[in-house]
A and B are shown apart, each in its own frame.
Chain A
Amino acid sequence: MGRYVLRRLLQLIPVFIGTTFIIYALVWAIPQDPFAGKCGQRPCPEAYISAMSDKFNFDDPLPLQYLKYMGNVITGDFGDTFSGISVGEQISTAYPTTVKLAIVALLIEALIGITAGVLTGLRKQGFLDNLVLVSTLFLISLPVFVTGFVLRLYLGPQGLDLFDVGVDATDPTFAQLILPGFVLGSTSMAYVARLTRSSIAENRHADYVRTAIAKGQPTRRVVGVHLLRNSLIPVITFLGTDLGSLMGGAIVTEGVFNINGIGGLIFRGIQEKEGITVTGVVTMLVLVYLLMSLIVDLLYAVLDPRIRYE
């Protein structure tokens, strides 16, 4: 196991480099002129161009630019934007908000999704099954921003006034993030419910479940220990990798609810062509995503003894 963890950690490095390099190349190399539109209608002054080229290493070949950038990032220096704002500071103010939002979304989707999935997987074709099936279909087919706008309008202050949607700019409370978190996690919640349902329904007739029932285990234990542990493996994979996509997908939800997270940061970064903000934020997101997938892989071995790492 120890060797496996070490090997897996070493494997993370090329993936990290690959992903960040692709983003770096997309942001910096493919647009021909990084100065296009930077100085209004007229071309940028020579002094500005040479100063900025120096700062962002535009004169070096792309791999070298990338290496220099990553070298700085490893020491914790995310660089400054064209206008001299520290990207590290931007990230450290926006990041905690998005992490909070994503965690709230993950908790909500896991709680509701797994509960719904287990209940319907055990008892197919009932009223509850149809209800869950229809509502998951509904959630899957509705784009997140539609769910967001509709829920904000009808559950926010203008409607039933159930939720406080005036999210604090700097430090939102968990209560304020419940509605945005629900919206952010709504699509994944449906996936979790369906995954759990099909997985439970498949394993329900497995031999080990029959054996457990035959030897007189109480239903609670059969479902909670035997069935759930084996059925949740695909669900855990999904939830683990979903945290990364939730943080990236928060861009839409943050827009709908006016939350000051990394979504807005990236969007402004792209519109104002501050490539360094985009690469900085993406690097952090990729890191979160990779660590989560590592944890998921390790959980595999714990949850399913049939899977062995040698």
Chain B
Amino acid sequence: MSDPGASGAGLERAAASAVGDLSHVDDSSQKQGKPRSLWSDAWGELRRKPTFIISLVIIFIVVVMAAFPSLFTSVDPRAANLDNYLKTPSADAWFGYDVQGYDVYARAIYGARASLLVGLFSTLLTVLIGSVVGIFASYAKSWVDSLLSRFGDIFAGVPFVLGAIVILTTFNSPTENPSAVRIITQVVLSIAVLSWPVSMRIMRSATLVAKQQDYVKAARGLGASPLRIVFRHLLPNTVAPVLVYATIALGAFIGAEATLAFLGIGLRPPVVSWGVMISESRDYFQAAPHMLLFPAGFVTITVLAFVILGDAVRDALDPKSR
């Protein structure tokens, strides 16, 4: 292990676990034979976790669903037949039909793409902006730090739903019918613009604590450059809380997509998404609960998979939790 900070942490960990858990002592003696990095260590642990495998399989299925919906259904999600008005689930249509006579199963399959895209891009953008600004702020001079923190406060000060309503109605008047790409981009951008300060704060406070640790001081004393300290010493120790936030946020953002659709300002027909389906069901769900339950179930299972995945990754990355 060429990295003084990491091996120091490894020793400390071995010492700590020797007190409580004997099985870890074997682990650390193995490690000395074949040095491994924190991430390959984590990967070794993850491979053995059933929850990790299950969540990966679910995510894989949802991604395939989003990429090639025709593999799962041959029904056109936009083929409306009013004869099928609110028909309950049957052998013909597993999830029944909605108020327009659309096949709910086909729409739930085709809806994966838009919902997943919104969740994924908003999370990526939010975490990326937040982490970069957060690390930079905690590492910069104090006036830059407070300037960036206040700049984040400006966006965090706008309540989420409210801010999204103002942004989306400003750029699309309610009578307009914007194209699918445009509305998806707008929803992603509004979510990211309003959410990045949260991940910035998490990253900043995690870095502030990690910066004071001895291994960072040691690395600095050995002459490591700021970039090396950030990537080799700080990031592995601060990425866990951001990762936990990101997985939860991905769920929240898929939910936010649904909320905005529900308020009539997010994605809207003809785009097919789980949010659009849930919002279409709102006036009928006493009479036809299947219209609500199936898309809501898809949302729940997808989010579940992401959160379980994040949990497993966090446990594997965080030496303290072992």
Query: Chain A interface (Cβ within 8 Å of chain B)?
Result: 11, 14-16, 18-19, 22-23, 26-27, 30-31, 137-138, 140-146, 149, 153, 187, 191, 194, 198, 201-202, 205, 234, 237, 241, 244-245, 247-249, 251-252, 266-267, 270-271, 278, 282, 285-286, 289-290, 293, 306
Contact = CB atoms under 8 A, between A and B. Distances in A.
Contacts of B155: 19
A26 B169 CA distance: 9
Contact of B166 (A18, A27, A146, A289): A27
A286 B166 CA distance: 14
B299 interface: yes
B161 A252 contact: yes
Given A143-B258, A248-B161, 8 more contacts: A14-B150, A31-B173, A141-B299, A143-B296, A248-B160, A251-B165, A252-B161, A306-B209
Contact of A142 (B20, B154, B300, B308): B300
Contacts of B201: 237
B219 interface: no
Given A140-B303, A145-B282, A202-B320, A19 B158 contact: yes
A187 B161 contact: no
Contacts of A22: 154, 158
Given A26-B170, A141-B304, A198-B244, A293 B262 contact: no
Contacts of A143: 255, 258-259, 262, 275, 278, 296, 299
18 contacts: A15-B153, A23-B163, A26-B167, A137-B300, A137-B304, A142-B299, A143-B259, A143-B262, A143-B299, A144-B255, A149-B292, A234-B241, A248-B160, A248-B161, A251-B162, A251-B263, A252-B259, A306-B212
B157 A270 contact: no
B299 A26 contact: no
A199 to B, nearest CB: 9
B255 A142 contact: yes
A198 B310 CA distance: 12
A248 B256 CA distance: 14
A238 to B, nearest CB: 9
B157 A249 contact: no
Contacts of A245: 159-160
Contacts of A266: 162, 165
Determine the main DSSP class of B at the interface with A: helix
A137 B157 contact: no
B162 A289 contact: no
A249 B158 contact: no
Nearest to A300: B205
A202 B321 CA distance: 6
Interface residues of B, number: 57
A207 to B, nearest CB: 9
A285 B282 contact: no
Contacts of A19: 153-155, 157-158
Given A194-B248, A202-B320, A270-B166, A289 B159 contact: yes
A171 to B, nearest CB: 24
B162 A293 contact: no
A141 B162 contact: no
Given A19-B158, A244-B157, A286-B157, A140 B166 contact: no
Interface string B163-199: 1011101110110000000000000000000000000
B314 interface: yes
Determine the main DSSP class of A at the interface with B: helix
Contact of A27 (B154, B170, B286, B304): B170
A145 B262 contact: yes
B318 interface: yes
Contacts of A293: 153, 156
A26 B262 CA distance: 22
A248 B162 contact: yes
Interface string B284-322: 011000001000100110111001100000100010110
B252 interface: yes
Contact of A149 (B171, B248, B285, B307): B285
Nearest to B256: A143
A187 B252 CA distance: 9
A10 to B, nearest CB: 11
A251 B255 contact: no
Contacts of B275: 143
Contacts of A271: 174
Contacts of B169: 270
Interface in B197-221: 201, 205, 209, 212
A289 B157 contact: yes
Nearest to A19: B157
B146 interface: yes
B130 interface: no
B154 A141 contact: no
A141 B301 CA distance: 8
A137 B154 contact: no
B96 interface: no
B140 interface: no
Contact of A11 (B146, B158, B278): B146
Given A249-B160, A290-B157, A201 B321 contact: yes
B10 to A, nearest CB: 16
A3 to B, nearest CB: 14
Given A15-B154, A143-B278, A293-B153, A248 B296 contact: no
Contact of A140 (B209, B296, B307): B307
Nearest to A194: B248
A27 B171 CA distance: 10
